[in-house]
Chains A and B, each alone.
Chain A
Amino acid sequence: EAQVTQNPRYLITVTGKKLTVTCSQNMNHEYMSWYRQDPGLGLRQIYYSMNVEVTDKGDVPEGYKVSRKEKRNFPLILESPSPNQTSLYFCASSLVAPGTIDYEQYFGPGTRLTVT
C-alpha cells in the first residue's frame, strides 16, 4: 500500500530535549516536505527536499533541521524544542515537484507534539 508514515504520532516532551520525528514514504517520490498546522494559522511549510541531499527552507524553518540521506526518509529534527513548537506536524511527498504535470502530494497521518 502506497503511504507516508510518521513516527511518533503523539509526543509530549520538555523544553530543550532534542527529538526527531521520522517520515518515510514507499512511493519512490523525489519531493518531500514538512508542515506544521496551528489553529488560526493554517498549514505552514517548514522545510522541503527536491531529492536526496537537497533540502531548502520553507516559510518557518527556525528551530528545525532536516536531512535527506536517502530518498524514502526525511526526518525532522528539533535540536532544542521550545513551547512555541507545540503543534501538529505533517510530512508530505510527491512524485515530482509541485507545479509540474502529474503532481499530487500525499500527506502522512500527522504528529501531535506538545513541548512543556
Chain B
Amino acid sequence: GQNIDQPTEMTATEGAIVQINCTYQTSGFNGLFWYQQHAGEAPTFLSYNVLDGLEEKGRFSSFLSRSKGYSYLLLKELQMKDSASYLCAVRDIGNRDDKIIFGKGTRLHILP
C-alpha cells in the first residue's frame, strides 16, 4: 500500500533551524515534493527531489534517501512568516496509474 508519515505539529523559535521529517512507503516511487501551506491558502511549491541527496534553495533545503524511504525539509533562520503547514507528497506510478499522494502535513509554529 501507500503510506506517507510526517509529524503532526512542531514548534521552533525565530532565528533557529528546524527539520521536518517525512517517511514514505510506495510501490512506484518517482519523486518527492514539499509544499508550504498557510492557513486558508493554497499550497505553494517548495522543492522536488527525485535523486538521493540534498537540494538547497535559499533558506530551505530538502533531502532524499530513496533506499530508506525518507526525506526531510530543513528550514534555516526561521522567520515568523514560516509559520505554516508543510506538506510532503510523493509521485507513485503503478501499472495503470500515476498518482500524487500527500502526507497529512506538519503544522509548524514559530515562537518569537
Q: Which residues of A contact B (CB under 8 A)?
A: 33, 35, 40-45, 48, 50, 56-59, 90, 97-99, 103-110
Contact = CB atoms under 8 A, between A and B. Distances in A.
A30 to B, nearest CB: 13
A40 B9 CA distance: 12
B44 A43 contact: no
B91 A99 contact: yes
A101 B102 CA distance: 20
Interface string B23-46: 000000011010000000111110
Contact of A42 (B31, B45, B48, B87): B87
A108 B41 CA distance: 9
Contacts of A41: 104
A101 to B, nearest CB: 9
Interface in B97-112: 97-105
Contacts of B18: none
B50 interface: yes
